Amino acid sequence: MTREKKRRFFQVGAALAFNAYLPAFFRAGIFQGKIKGLCLPSLNCYSCPSAIGACPIGSLQAGLASFRLHLEAGQRQFGLYVLGFLTLVGSLVGRLPCGWLCPFGLFQELIHQKKWVKFKLPRLLTHFRYLMLLLLVILLPLIIVDEFGLGQTWFCKWVCPAGTFEAGLPLIILNKSLRSQIGFLFSWKLAILGLFILFMLFINRPFCRTTCPLGAIWGLFNRASLFQLLVNEESCLRCLKCQQVCPVEIDPATNPKSADCIRCLRCVDACQYGALSYSFLFWPKKQFKPVISPTTDS
C-alpha cells in the first residue's frame, strides 16, 4: 500500500471513528454520552448526530462565550482542558491531523478530484484564517454578551461549512420537525457551504487554507512540533516536483516548516532524489537516498 493510500485509509477511518454512534444518526438525534465532552483531533462538528466527541474549535468558543458569566459568578472555569489539548496536539505533530484525520479535509479532496480547470489560490487569502480565529473564535465570544454575560459561538453559528455539512444537513434531512424551522441562518450557512463546494472544484482545500481556525492554531506549531519535515539541501536539485504535488501549493524544499503545510507527505513520495524526509520523537530519521545524476554519453 502506498503512503497516499494509507493516508486515505486513515482519513476514511477517522471519519467513521469520530462519528461511530450510528443509533443517534438513525433516530435523528445527537449522541450525548459521557465521552461527548472530549475533543477530537479535527474539525468534526459536535452536533453531528453520530459524533462521539467535540470539535476543539466549538469547545474553545463555548468556553470563551461563558467566560464572563463564570467570572461574574466567582467560578474560575477558563477552558484550560481545550487549550491544553490544542497545545498538546500542536506540539506533537503540528497540522498533521489536517492532512490525515480531518473528515472535512477528506471531503474537500474528493470534490477537488473532479476534472475541472484548476486555479492557484492567492497567497494573501491564506492569512484570512487568522482573522477568523482572532475575530470570530476569540474576540466576539468574549466581547459581545447578553444581559447574563453569555456570548455566542460565532464561527460555528455563522460560518463553519463543516458543521453545516456534517450536522445541519443530516438533521434537516432526517428530522421532519426541523424542516419547518428553517430560516435565514440555515439558508446563510447553506450558501456558504455551497460557495466553498464551488471553490473546491477549482482549488484544493480552500476552506483549510483560507478559513479554518483549527488549522490556523496548529499551523503555528509547525516550526516547533516534534514531527518535522526534513530537507537535505545537498540532494535537492530544485526539480519542483514536490511543489507540483503539494495540495496547499507551498514549496516544501525551501519552507518545510510552513504554517500552511498539512503534513500529508505527498512531497516525500514525489521526490526522486531523497531530499525530503521526516522525523518524529524517537523514530530514526529516514536515510536520504543518493542523488540521481543524469548521465551523458562521451
| Residues 107 and 124 both lie in one domain | yes
Is residue 232 within 8 Å of residue 274, measured between CB atoms? yes
Q: What is the pLDDT of residues 85-120, one digit of tens each?
A: 999 999 999 999 999 999 999 999 999 988 788 999
Which pLDDT score, from 0 to 100, does residue 295 have? 44
Cα dihedral: 263, 264, 270, 276 (round 10): 20
C-alpha–C-alpha distance, residues 90 and 149, integer Å: 31
| Residues 35 and 101 both lie in one domain | yes
C-alpha–C-alpha distance, residues 81 and 108, integer Å: 29
For the chain, the domain total comes to: 2
C-alpha–C-alpha distance, residues 103 and 166, integer Å: 9
Which pLDDT score, from 0 to 100, does residue 283 have? 63
| Residues 193 and 254 both lie in one domain | no
- Nine cell digits for residue 174: 432526517
| Residues 32 and 127 both lie in one domain | yes
Q: What is the pLDDT of residues 44-82, one digit of tens each?
A: 999 999 999 999 999 999 999 988 776 776 666 667 899
- Does the pTM exceed 0.85? yes
219, 253, 275: which is the final residue of a domain? 219
Least confident residue range of 62-66, 153-157, 195-199, 294-298 = 294-298
Query: Is 80 exceeded by the pLDDT of residue 30?
Result: yes
Give φ, ψ of 277 to 5 degrees: -155, -165
Domain extent at residue 262: 228-298
Provide DSSP, 142-167: HHS--TTS----HHHHHT-HHHIIII
Which pLDDT score, from 0 to 100, does residue 67 have? 84
Query: Is 60 exceeded by the pLDDT of residue 288?
Result: no
Which pLDDT score, from 0 to 100, does residue 77 have? 62
| Residues 106 and 8 both lie in one domain | yes
| Residues 195 and 281 both lie in one domain | no
197, 219, 241: which is the final residue of a domain? 219
Which pLDDT score, from 0 to 100, does residue 296 have? 40
Which pLDDT score, from 0 to 100, does residue 68 have? 77
C-alpha–C-alpha distance, residues 275 and 271, integer Å: 7
In the block, cell 465521552 appears at 35
The enclosing domain of 276 has a CATH number of 3.30.70.20
Mean pLDDT, the chain, integer: 91
Q: What is the pLDDT of residues 160-217, one digit of tens each?
A: 999 999 999 999 998 888 888 889 999 999 999 999 999 999 999 999 999 999 999 9
Q: pLDDT class for 289, splitting at 50, 70, 90? A: low
Is residue 274 within 8 Å of residue 235, measured between CB atoms? yes
Which pLDDT score, from 0 to 100, does residue 177 have? 85
Query: Is 60 exceeded by the pLDDT of residue 227?
Result: yes
| Residues 92 and 201 both lie in one domain | yes
